[in-house]
Amino acid sequence: MSYSNADIIASLILMLAKAGLFFVLYLVVLAYLTLLERRLLGLFQERYGPNRVGWQGLLQPVADGLKLFVKEEITVSGANRAVYILAPIVFVTATMMTFALVPFGDVIWPATMEIGGRMYNFTFANAHRGVIADVNVAILVVFAISSLGIYGLIMAGWGSNNKYALLGGVRASAVMISYELAASLALIGVIMTTGSMSLMDIVKVQGGYWLGFIPKWFCFSQPLAFVIFLVAIFAETGRTPFDFTECENELVAGYQMEYSSMKFALFYLGEYGHMLAGSALMVTFFLGGWQGPFADAPGLKYFLPVLYFCLKTFVVVFFFIWVRATYPRFRYDLLMNLGWKVLLPATLVNILISPITMKLLGQM
């Protein structure tokens, strides 16, 4: 397919618009996710969350952000300056980059459109599709990026010039590495069924229904992989019940101890960004992505899939917060036990039985 220069420029402008809009929305959603978590936790505990600042507390994230901005910016003495400053940046950037690969809609712009009398073709680099970067080995890229995020933790622990922060950072990164293994192996069943590592293809395969009403999502055809991935995502994002590294009521905050003001705000937002990215990946792999009823009706097909994606991600985020309100914390050795001795063999079992179920369900 040959593209003229004007087509390429039009597609690139569309891609930049997608990325820019996503960036702005991501930061706003992240800030209000903190408020949502505090209000929901309050609801689960028969109390109100923050509801004083602005109507129903909607200005609370603004107040929090302002407070963190004007706090004193401390650089610990003896800290390795470059490492100390780069650590939160690496952490946040890694979680943000994951979203460049997640498909949030099917088609969000018509493939060819007439503007000012000239026909523009927007399909260069799949710019008209609902994903910022349509890579055909997207699963590999996703896990490579989250491995980079682990570097952020180690850098934070090391750059703080503090033995306890170092130990906290080492423990946190050990947990993340162990559970990332289980998470990636759990996806092999998904890759086998789809036959492709592209996230767009994985979502497309989950269209349609069995028996007319059960959607063909991978959470129904690969339940073991679904459960393993769920637990692994909880551990990777550092959420309760696996949050011993930054349990706010026990340790003083582990690897984040020596951070104040905006660097701490970046870590804090990075944690919620990680939770959002984990939810988005869970929705993409197992809950059908942007699929839903009437997703290809002519008038609705540009924004209804996006709505479905956002709703499903919100449901998974609600589940994250629900679990945090319910379960006590794992001990560190039991945590590593679970990751290596329970989840890893379970993923291998899943790889064994996955082709059998695929043959039975007629997907092979």
Question: Nearer to other proteins by C-beta: 156 or 235?
Answer: 235
Q: Phi/psi of residue 104, each to 5°?
A: -105, 0
The angle subtended at Cα 275 by Cα 271 and Cα 277, nearest 5°, is 110
Q: Which of 4, 20, 322, 342 binds other proteins (CB under 8 A)?
A: 322
Token reading at 280: 């988005």
Q: Which of 46, 72, 248, 333 binds other proteins (CB under 8 A)?
A: 46
Distance, in Å, from the CA atom of 213 to the CA atom of 314, rounded to the nearest integer, reads 22
Q: Which of 325, 336, 351, 358 binds other proteins (CB under 8 A)?
A: 325
Q: Is residue 163 within the footprint of other proteins (CB under 8 A)?
A: no
Token reading at 339: 């990751």
Q: Which of 27, 48, 252, 364 binds other proteins (CB under 8 A)?
A: 48
Of the candidate spans 15-23, 55-63, 319-327, 352-360, the one that interacts with other proteins by CB under 8 A turns out to be 319-327
Q: Is residue 47 within the footprint of other proteins (CB under 8 A)?
A: yes
Residues 24-43 that bind other proteins (CB under 8 A): 42-43
Residue 214: count other Cβ atoms within 10 Å of its Cβ: 10
Q: Is residue 191 within the footprint of other proteins (CB under 8 A)?
A: no
CB of 344 to other proteins, least distance (A): 19
Distance, in Å, from the CA atom of 75 to the CA atom of 70, rounded to the nearest integer, reads 15
Q: Which of 326, 348, 360, 364 binds other proteins (CB under 8 A)?
A: 326
Question: Nearer to other proteins by C-beta: 160 or 222?
Answer: 222
In terms of C-beta density within 10 A (0-12 exposed, 13-18 middle, 19 or more buried), how is residue 191 classed? middle
Task: Report how far Cα 18 is from the mean position of its chain's Cα atoms.
Answer: 18
Q: Is residue 44 within the footprint of other proteins (CB under 8 A)?
A: yes
Of the candidate spans 16-24, 135-143, 250-258, 322-330, the one that interacts with other proteins by CB under 8 A turns out to be 322-330
Question: Nearer to other proteins by C-beta: 112 or 326?
Answer: 326
Token reading at 219: 């959470």
Distance, in Å, from the CA atom of 354 to the CA atom of 361, rounded to the nearest integer, reads 11
Residue 224 CB contacts under 8 Å (≥ 6 apart), including other chains: 346, 349, 350, 353
Q: Is residue 323 within the footprint of other proteins (CB under 8 A)?
A: yes
Question: Nearer to other proteins by C-beta: 47 or 163?
Answer: 47
Contact 103, 290 (CB under 8 A): yes
Residues that bind other proteins in the complex, under the rule CB under 8 A: 42-48, 322-323, 325-327
